[in-house]
Chain A
Amino acid sequence: MGYELSRPEPTPPRRRRIPAHLRWPLGFLIAGLLFFLLHYYATRLGLKPFLDTWLPKSTINEALVWVICALGLNIVVGYAGLLDLGFVAFWAIGGYTAGWLMSGFFHFLNVHFLGAVPTDQPGVHFSFWMVLLAGAALCFVFGVLIGAPTLRLRSDYLALVTLGFGEIIPQVFRNGDNVFGYNISNGDKSITPVDPVRSVAIEANGFSVRNLGPFDELSRYLIFVALAALIIFMSLRLRDGKLGRAWLAIREDEVAASAMGVPLMRTKLAAYGIGAVAGGLGGVAYATHVNGAFAGRFNFSISITLLAMVVLGGMGNVWGVTLGALVIAWVNQTGLRRAGEAFNTQFGTEIDFTSYNFLLFGGVLVLMMLFRREGMLPEARTRLVLREHDKTSVGQDAIEVDELDEQANVEAGERR
Chain B
Amino acid sequence: MAETTLTPAAVRPPLSTKAIVLRTSAVLVLALAAVWLIANIVASPVQFFSAAVAGLSNGALYALIALGYTMVYGIIQLINFAHGDLFMLGTLFSAFVITTLANQTGPSATGWVVFFVALVTTMAFCGLANVAIEFFAYRRLRRAPKLAPLITAVGMSFVLQQIGLKWNGSGQRNWPSVLPDDSFFIGGVRIDVNLLIVLGLAIPLLLLMRWLVAKTKQGKAMRATSQDQDATRLMGISVNSTISFTFLLGGALAGAAGVMYQQTIGTTRYDLGFQLGLIAFTAAVLGGIGNLTGAVLGGVLIGLIQGINDGAPYGLGQKWSQTVVFSILILLMVFRPDGLLGKRTGE
Q: Which of B158, B274, B327, B330 has the most CB of A within 10 A?
A: B158
Q: Which residues of A contact B140 (CB under 8 A)?
A: 370, 392
B337's closest neighbor in chain A, by CB? Answer: A153
Taking A175-B320, A362-B162 as contacts, is the C-beta distance between A369 and B281 under 8 angstroms?
A: no
Contact of B158 among A161, A365, A373, A392 (CB under 8 A): A365
Question: Are B155 and A362 in touch, CB under 8 angstroms?
Answer: yes
Question: Are A304 and B158 in touch, CB under 8 angstroms?
Answer: yes
How far in angstroms is the closest Cβ of chain A from B34?
Answer: 22
Residue A159 lies at the interface, judged by CB distance under 8 Å to chain B? yes
Interface flags, A341-366, vs B, CB<8A=1, else 0: 00000000000000110110111111
Q: A160-B329, A370-B152 are in contact. List 16 more A-B contacts (CB 8 A).
A: A150-B330, A152-B337, A156-B150, A157-B285, A157-B333, A165-B326, A167-B323, A168-B323, A168-B327, A171-B320, A355-B170, A358-B162, A361-B158, A363-B158, A389-B143, A389-B145
A83's closest neighbor in chain B, by CB? Answer: B147
- The A-contacting residues of B in range 184-217, CB under 8 angstroms, are none
B residues at A contact (CB < 8 Å) = 77-79, 137, 140-141, 143-152, 154-162, 165-166, 170, 230, 233, 274, 278, 281-282, 285, 319-320, 322-323, 326-327, 329-330, 333-334, 337, 347
Taking A307-B151, A365-B154 as contacts, is the C-beta distance between A390 and B143 under 8 angstroms?
A: yes
What bracket does the count of chain A residues touching chain B fall in? 35 or more
Question: Are B143 and A161 in touch, CB under 8 angstroms?
Answer: no
Question: Are A358 and B148 in touch, CB under 8 angstroms?
Answer: no
A residues at B contact (CB < 8 Å) = 81, 83, 85, 149-150, 152-157, 159-161, 163-165, 167-168, 171-172, 174-175, 254-255, 300, 304, 307, 311, 355-356, 358-359, 361-366, 369-370, 373, 385-386, 388-392, 403, 407, 410-411
Contact of B278 among A157, A167, A304 (CB under 8 A): A167
User: In the docked arrangement, what's the CA distance between A83 and B145, Å?
Assistant: 12
Q: Which residues of B contact A163 (CB under 8 A)?
A: 278
How far in angstroms is the closest Cβ of chain B from A201?
Answer: 40
Question: Are B150 and A167 in touch, CB under 8 angstroms?
Answer: no
User: In the docked arrangement, what's the CA distance between A365 and B162, Å?
Assistant: 14
Question: Are A364 and B155 in touch, CB under 8 angstroms?
Answer: yes
How far in angstroms is the closest Cβ of chain B from A306?
Answer: 12
User: In the docked arrangement, what's the CA distance between A255 and B158, Å?
Assistant: 34
Question: Are B322 and A168 in touch, CB under 8 angstroms?
Answer: yes
User: In the docked arrangement, what's the CA distance between A225 and B145, Å?
Assistant: 35
Question: Are B326 and A168 in touch, CB under 8 angstroms?
Answer: yes
User: In the docked arrangement, what's the CA distance between A186 and B150, Å?
Assistant: 36
Taking A167-B322, A358-B165, A386-B148 as contacts, is the C-beta distance between A369 and B155 under 8 angstroms?
A: yes
B331's closest neighbor in chain A, by CB? Answer: A149
Taking A168-B327, A362-B158 as contacts, is the C-beta distance between A160 and B230 under 8 angstroms?
A: no
Question: Are B146 and A161 in touch, CB under 8 angstroms?
Answer: no
B133's closest neighbor in chain A, by CB? Answer: A366
